[in-house]
Amino acid sequence: MATIRSFVCIDVPPEVKAAIERLQTKLRHLPVEVSWTRPANVHLTLKFLGDVEEARLGRVGEALDEIAQAHAPFELATDRGGVFPNADRPRVLWIGVRDERGLLRALVAQVEDALAQHGFAREARPFTAHLTIGRVRSERSARELARRFLAEEFPSYRFLVTHLILMRSDLRPDGALYTPLHRAPLRDRS
């Protein structure tokens, strides 16, 4: 049976993607092997599903519709940069996302609960709202990259969450290609 690599996410506005591209450009000259996320691909992952049988994706979309209808659009904001697992051994560079009212955390918990009922394993690690901007491929000069990256001031952009997106991910030699499979609009209060 055919499977589709997929995840649930929230898109971010063009001004956030443009700011990330400017930051990446500042860091690209450092002698570190980094796989930079294409700015067009930057998103806020809520749940990685992995390889899913195509027939199950319809039920995932229905679950997202139900969750989205229980939430009005809400605001998030970009925050400072961070690294996983730590600055001494950076593997992932990311921009944080502030969830000042706790609405994102509640949404993620509902996504976890709903998809667990459809047989998807719960995430073991606590949720950290972030936008991945690069993956470090070599330890050479990685600490210097982390130091420089963490010293950068990233602007705080406020943006409105209006949809949950079920995204397809096709891995290609030139980077991942993301295709929305389903968009679940959050309930409009008007």
Question: How many other C-beta atoms lie within 10 A of the C-beta of residue 84?
Answer: 16
Q: What is the pTM of this model?
A: 0.93
Tokens of 70: 């229980």
Catalytic residues: 43, 130
d(CA 103, CA 158): 14
Total residues belonging to the chain: 190
Exposure class string for 17-33: b at 16+ Cβ within 10 A, else e: bebbbebbeebeeeebe
Report pLDDT digits (tens) over 103-115. Answer: 999 999 999 999 9
> pLDDT category, 23, cuts 50, 70, 90?
very high
d(CA 131, CA 41): 10
Average pLDDT, the chain: 95
176 burial (CB, 10 Å; 0-12 / 13-18 / 19+) is middle
Report pLDDT digits (tens) over 122-150. Answer: 999 999 999 999 999 998 889 999 999 99
Here the contacts of 84-88 (C-beta below 8 Å, separation 24 or greater) are 87/143, 87/146, 87/147, 87/150, 88/143, 88/146
d(CA 186, CA 158): 17
Q: DSSP strand E in the chain: where?
A: 3-11, 34-36, 43-53, 74-84, 92-98, 130-136, 158-161, 163-170, 177-185
Tokens of 51: 């390889």
